[in-house]
C-alpha cells in the first residue's frame, strides 16, 4: 500500500510538471495529451493492479507485469528513435547553416 501511495504522488507530480510546461507553451497539445494519457494510465494500473493482469490475459501475455514491461520497452525504443531522428535533423540544419555562414564570410572577404 505504501508503494502505491508513493507512486501516485510521483505520478501527480509528473502530471503537474507536464501541465506547467504545456501552459508555458514549452510542449504542444499533442505531446501534452499523449503524456497525460500515459501517466493517467500508469496511475490506473497503480490503483487497480488487477487491470494489467486482465489486459495481459486478453492480449495473450502471461502476467500483467510482463505486459507493462513489454509496453515500457517499446515506448522507450520509440522515444529513442524519435530523439535520434531529431538529432540527425538538427545536425543537417547546423551543417547547412555553417556552410551558408562560411560562404557569406568568404564573399565578404572577397568583396573588400
Q: Annotate 47-106 with DSSP letters as a single string.
A: H-THHHHHHHHHHT-S-HHHHHHHHHHHHHHHHHHHHHHHHHHHHHHHHHHHHHHHHHHH
Instruction: Output DSSP code: residue 24.
Output: T
* Biggest alpha carbon–alpha carbon distance for the chain: 76
* pTM confidence score: 0.70
pLDDT of 66 above 80: yes
In a domain, 73, yes or no: yes
- pLDDT at residue 4, rounded to an integer: 92
Total domain count, the chain: 2
Taking phi over 0 as left and psi of -120 to 50 as alpha, with beta for the rest, 25 belongs to: left
In a domain, 54, yes or no: no
- pLDDT at residue 73, rounded to an integer: 95
The Cα 33–Cα 19 span in angstroms is: 10
Q: What is the mean pLDDT of residues 1-17?
A: 94
In a domain, 59, yes or no: no
Q: What is the mean pLDDT of residues 37-41?
A: 94
What is the domain extent for residue 2?
Answer: 1-48
Amino acid at each position: 500500500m505504501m508503494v502505491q501511495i508513493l507512486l501516485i504522488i510521483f505520478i501527480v507530480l509528473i502530471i503537474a510538471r507536464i501541465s506547467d510546461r504545456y501552459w508555458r507553451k514549452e510542449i504542444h497539445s499533442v505531446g501534452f495529451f499523449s503524456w497525460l494519457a500515459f501517466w493517467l494510465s500508469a496511475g490506473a494500473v497503480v490503483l487497480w493492479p488487477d487491470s494489467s493482469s486482465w489486459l495481459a490475459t486478453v492480449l495473450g501475455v502471461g502476467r500483467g507485469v510482463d505486459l507493462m514491461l513489454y509496453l515500457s520497452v517499446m515506448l522507450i525504443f520509440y522515444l529513442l528513435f524519435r530523439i535520434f531522428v531529431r538529432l540527425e535533423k538538427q545536425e543537417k540544419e547546423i551543417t547547412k547553416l555553417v556552410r551558408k555562414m562560411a560562404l557569406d564570410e568568404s564573399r565578404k572577404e572577397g568583396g573588400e
